[in-house]
Each structure stands twice: as C-alpha cells, then as structure tokens.
C-alpha cells in the first residue's frame, strides 16, 4: 500500500485493487443459490461502489433493478449520530430479493436500519454487501459479502467522505 503526500490521504486500497475485488464479489454474489433481483445502494457513501458492483454483476448475467435508499448517520461530523432517512424503500420492494450495497460497515447501525426498513416494505429476502467492514466487536449488523476488512481507520474516497471532502478519489484512503 502506497503512502500519500502531506496533501493527499494515504492509500489503503488502490483503484486497481478495488476493481479486482469488485469483480470477485460479483462472481461470489452471482454464484449464490438465491440471486438478488433488485439492488438497493445506501446513499451517499455506497454510490460509487454500487455503480461498479451492479455493472460487474451485469457481466455475470445478474440483471438488477435499482432503487436507492438514502440514510444519513454522520452529517457533517466524523462521529455517527442518529440515523435519519431521507428516502426509503418503495412498494417495488415487496416480494423481491434485495441486495443492500453500502460503503462501510462500522457499528452496523445504518445497515440494521436499512434491513429493517426493507423487511418492513415486504422484501422476500435481504442480503448485504459492503466495500469495507471494520468487523467491530459488538456490531449490530453483519454483511453477507465483504470487499475488504479494515481496522478502525476513518476512510475516505471511492464515494466516502470526510465532511463532504474526498468523495471523488478513485481509491480508498485513510483520513488524516
């Protein structure tokens, strides 16, 4: 893993490493006995990962409808606060096999809220895939598919931000 300069965050996972892992995740999801038929990315942090993953799934002949779920837990801080729903699941979820896609699984509160909302909307099944999992002891949710396991670093890039900055970086980095 390369180190960043004083102006750029250090690289945890390069764009190339991410691309290889996304293709591997797509193969893993495509090989599952029950394939999803609708993707539900969690905005905003999961949108870049979701875009790459649904295209990789298409290459594996897994065609997905897409519906966004917009939950906010960080706001303008680095510490998670109460989770607010900006946009929730629609009636399209009822009876469907949903693949929830998010950037980071930290304490699991956002994933837990997402799964609860989707189940309440009548989904037939819910599976979760995350780009990064901190695998915290005591997390209230788990992912079914994990891109990379990381420590407790605050991460940025590849759709994830630090109070609005760094979301467009093509790699996943450690915030300073």
Question: Quick check: is 131 in a domain?
Answer: yes
Q: Where are the alpha helices (DSSP H) in the chain?
A: 15-30, 47-59, 109-120
Question: Quick check: is 42 in a domain?
Answer: yes
Question: Quick check: is 152 in a domain?
Answer: yes
Question: Quick check: is 132 in a domain?
Answer: yes
**Whether the predicted pLDDT of 19 surpasses 50:** yes
Residue with tokens 């649904």: 54
Question: Quick check: is 4 in a domain?
Answer: no
Q: What CATH number is associated with residue 66?
A: 3.40.50.2020
Q: What is the pLDDT of residues 138-171, one digit of tens each?
A: 999 999 999 999 998 889 999 988 888 898 999 9
Question: Quick check: is 6 in a domain?
Answer: no
Q: What is the pTM of this model?
A: 0.85
Q: Domain range spanning residue 64?
A: 11-174
Asked if 106 is an active-site residue, the reply is yes
Q: What is the CA radius of gyration of the chain?
A: 15
Strand partners, 165: 162
Find the catalytic residue in 102, 106, 161, 162.
106
Number of structural domains found in the chain? 1
Query: Cα–Cα distances in Å, from 26 out to 10, 16, 126, 145?
Result: 27, 16, 16, 10
């Amino acid at each position: 893993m390369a180190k960043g300069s004083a102006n750029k965050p250090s690289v945890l996972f390069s764009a190339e490493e991410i691309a290889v892992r996304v293709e591997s995740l797509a193969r893993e999801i495509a090989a599952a006995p029950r394939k999803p038929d609708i993707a539900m990315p969690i905005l905003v942090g999961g949108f870049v990962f979701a875009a790459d993953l649904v295209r990789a799934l298409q290459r594996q002949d897994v065609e997905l409808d897409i519906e966004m779920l917009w939950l906010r837990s960080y706001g303008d801080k680095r510490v998670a606060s109460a989770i607010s729903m900006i946009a929730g699941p629609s009636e399209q979820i009822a009876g469907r096999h949903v693949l929830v896609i998010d950037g980071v699984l930290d304490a699991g509160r956002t994933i837990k809220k997402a799964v609860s909302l989707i189940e309440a909307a009548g989904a037939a099944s819910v599976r979760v895939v995350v780009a990064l999992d901190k695998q915290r002891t005591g997390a209230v949710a788990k992912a079914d598919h994990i891109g990379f396991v990381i420590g407790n670093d605050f991460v940025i890039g590849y759709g994830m931000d630090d109070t609005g900055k760094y979301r467009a970086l093509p790699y996943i980095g450690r915030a300073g």
